[in-house]
Structures are given as structure tokens and as C-alpha cells.
Structure 1
Amino acid sequence: MDQNQESIELLQNILNGSREAFDLFYEKHYSFVYNIALHIVGDHKEAEDVSHDVFLEVFQKIRQYNSSKGSVRAWLAIKTKSRSLDRLRKNKPFLINRLEDILTKKEKGADLQFLSELQKSIIIEALNHLPDEQREALIRSYFQGETHKEIADSMEKPLGSIKSLIRYGINNLRKQKPLIRWMESSGGDNNNG
């Protein structure tokens, strides 16, 4: 029996009231759900909370699963992504602090790869509200992975000026209203899971 069929049978047994089936389902899929949540929220405790929310929702809304729309894992992935984004929307300072952590890391380029497309678009919108030189320095440093010296050479500015542009850019990002406005407007559709 393939894994998806086994998961479908566990869901059916859960629907019929089997606590053991729920425990097996949870064991089988917990690390998958947790890793997706961690990838999106970037915090172990938050990812654990999201994971528990997802399994509670599975238990309460088990009839939502429709095998004609995809595998159990795909269904869980969509639920997890949705609950993770909901958590980020509700926890405004968490997203802003996460953005700040990302932008102050020493790694170049790859540090932004794990962000979801939604988070990237929020960051890009916030970057668009910065003065041109600050935006260019931040994009070159954090999105293109250029060193401060490379940025100084290409922008024809002293190294100290580039460091200042990046520092001021990060400080200005902390104050950006697009992040807050997006959060307050709920960031789009809440019913995608």
C-alpha cells in the first residue's frame, strides 16, 4: 500500500473515532508539517504551535480532505502554509524582528532564499520606500551577495559611505509602513487552507 493510501485510511479511521489512528497519523506527518512551518515562520516554538494548530484542524475538519484534489501531504502542506502565514499576520513584531534578523546576518544572498514569495514581496515593497542609494546598497548586499567593497566600487562611493547607507537602510526598513499596513489589512485572503 502506498503512503498516500495509508494516510487516507488513517483519516477514515480518525473520522470513525479511532484515537490510535490519529496518533499514527500525527507521528507519520508531524516532521513534514513542522519543517514547512519552520521554513515559513523561522522560529522553533512558533513552528511547533503552527504544527499543533494544523493537526487540531485536521481532527476538527477531517471531512475537508478530498482525494481528487491531491495527496494527503499536499493537503497538509497547504494547511500548514496557510496557518503559518496567519500566525505571521497576527504576530506583527515577530515578522518585523525576523526581517531585521535576516537583513543583519553576515551571509550573503542565500539568507533570503527560504522566505516565501509573500514575504519577499512585502520586503520588496518596503525597500521601494527607501531612498534610492539605501535601497540599491541593501539589494546589492543582501539580494545579490556583493561585498561592501564591490558595492562601493560599483556605486563609486567610499567604503564608509556604503556601510552607512546599509545601516541607515536597515534602520529605515524597521520603520517602514508597508509592513505594518500589510499586516493590518490581513495580507490578503485568510481562507486559503
Structure 2
Amino acid sequence: MEAPVVDDRLLHQRVVGGDEAALGELYDRFAALIFGLAVRVTRDRAVAEDIAQEVFVTFWERPLAYDPERGSLRAWLATIAHRRAVDHVRAEERRKVSVLGPRVYERPGELEDTVLAADEATRVREAVATLPDALRAVIELAYYQGRTYRQVAEELAIPEGTAKSRIRLGLRKLAESLGGEQP
């Protein structure tokens, strides 16, 4: 598992130095991840292509924005892609509201349910952000990106048993953090 981190740091250094071939390698390594994440969030392939392009252009233009001491390059790029995709979805929702008017809720309590669900999602995202890197990585892959434990193990280059254990431990820590019962 050490090799990808070293490779990421070398790629980062090469991009900082203006090496266009390094950007190509970075693209080859992470484009599918970035595009896939953007498609899952936006549900629009054309928008996802634009977001993926923006992510790599941003990295090329401002490579020093990434700090290798704070996390992996993969996670940093995925975070940028996710934020851009969410921003796009929110902007589309605002546009729809301005064109169509405010949303009409069909049943009593639907607005409250929507607000509570959004609040709960925020609490969960904040709790996931506090997990140690190893646990956060498996939870994000398994639950935000829909990967199986086998796919998680493969992507992180860890044994399947380790992936399962980290997912269980991550869920347990989330339950503790959120004040719920442990699974």
C-alpha cells in the first residue's frame, strides 16, 4: 500500500514542476473514479464529464492546493469532484425553484421530513469526516460510492477480511458518534 502514496507524491511533485506527462498519468489513474463519482451524484454523464475536466484543470492550475500530509491524492481529487457535483445539483435545484416556483409538498409533514433527513445526512457526513483515515476510506467507498467489501479491498489494496473488519468498526464508531445503538 505504500507504493501508491509514494507514486502520488512523485506525481504531485512533477505536476508542481509543470510536467504535463505527470498530469496525463494522474488523469489515467483517477479519471474513472472522478467521472464515476460525478455521474453518481449528478446522474448526468455530460455534466460529469465537465466536472471531471474541471477537477483535473484545477489540479493543474493550483497543484499546491493539495497537501500530501493531509491525505491521499485520490481522496483529495474525489472530494473536489464530489463538492463540484453537489454544487451542480444544488444549483439545478435552485434554478428549478426559480423557474417553477417553490416546491409544493404533497402531504402534511413532508417538509419536516425533508428538513430532518437533510439534518441527519449532515450529521452523518460530519461524523464520517471525524473517522480515522483508514476507516473513513472504507466507509466512503462502501456507502457513498456503493462498493462491495470485495471492491473496497481491491481498491485499497487490502485483504478482504481487513475491509470487512474496517467497515464494521467504522459503522460501530459512527453509531457511537451519532448516539445510536451499535450494529
TM-score, normalisation: structure 2: 0.51
Rounded Cα–Cα distance in structure 2 between residues aligned with 1:89 and 1:72: 26
Percent identical across equivalent pairs?
Answer: 22
TM-superposed CA distance for 1:91, in Å, is: 2.7
Asked whether 1:11 is paired with 2:12, we answer: yes
Q: Which residue of 2 aligns with 1:183?
A: none
Root mean square deviation, CA, Å: 2.9
Rounded Cα–Cα distance in structure 2 between residues aligned with 1:84 and 1:30: 15
Rounded Cα–Cα distance in structure 2 between residues aligned with 1:41 and 1:4: 29
Q: How many residues align?
A: 107
What secondary structure, in the 3-state scheme, does the structure 2 residue paired with 1:68 have? coil
Q: Which residue of 1 aligns with 2:121?
A: none
TM-superposed CA distance for 1:82, in Å, is: 0.8
Rounded Cα–Cα distance in structure 2 between residues aligned with 1:53 and 1:33: 10
Rounded Cα–Cα distance in structure 2 between residues aligned with 1:30 and 1:75: 13
TM-superposed CA distance for 1:92, in Å, is: 3.3
Rounded Cα–Cα distance in structure 2 between residues aligned with 1:9 and 1:83: 26
The code of the aligned residue for 2:106 comes to: L
TM-superposed CA distance for 1:8, in Å, is: 1.7
Q: Which residue of 1 aligns with 2:30?
A: 29
Greater relative contact order (Cα < 8 A, sep 6+): 1
- Counterpart mapping for 1:25-174 below 5 A: 25-92=26-93, 129-132=105-108
For structure 2, the residue ranges without an aligned partner over 5 or more in a row are 98-102, 116-183
Taking a change above 3 Å as real, the CA distance of residues 82 and 95 of structure 1, as seen in their structure-2 partners, is: farther
The code of the aligned residue for 2:108 comes to: D
What secondary structure, in the 3-state scheme, does the structure 2 residue paired with 1:2 have? helix
What secondary structure, in the 3-state scheme, does the structure 1 residue paired with 2:28 have? helix
The code of the aligned residue for 2:107 comes to: P
The code of the aligned residue for 1:73 comes to: R
Rounded Cα–Cα distance in structure 2 between residues aligned with 1:77 and 1:7: 14
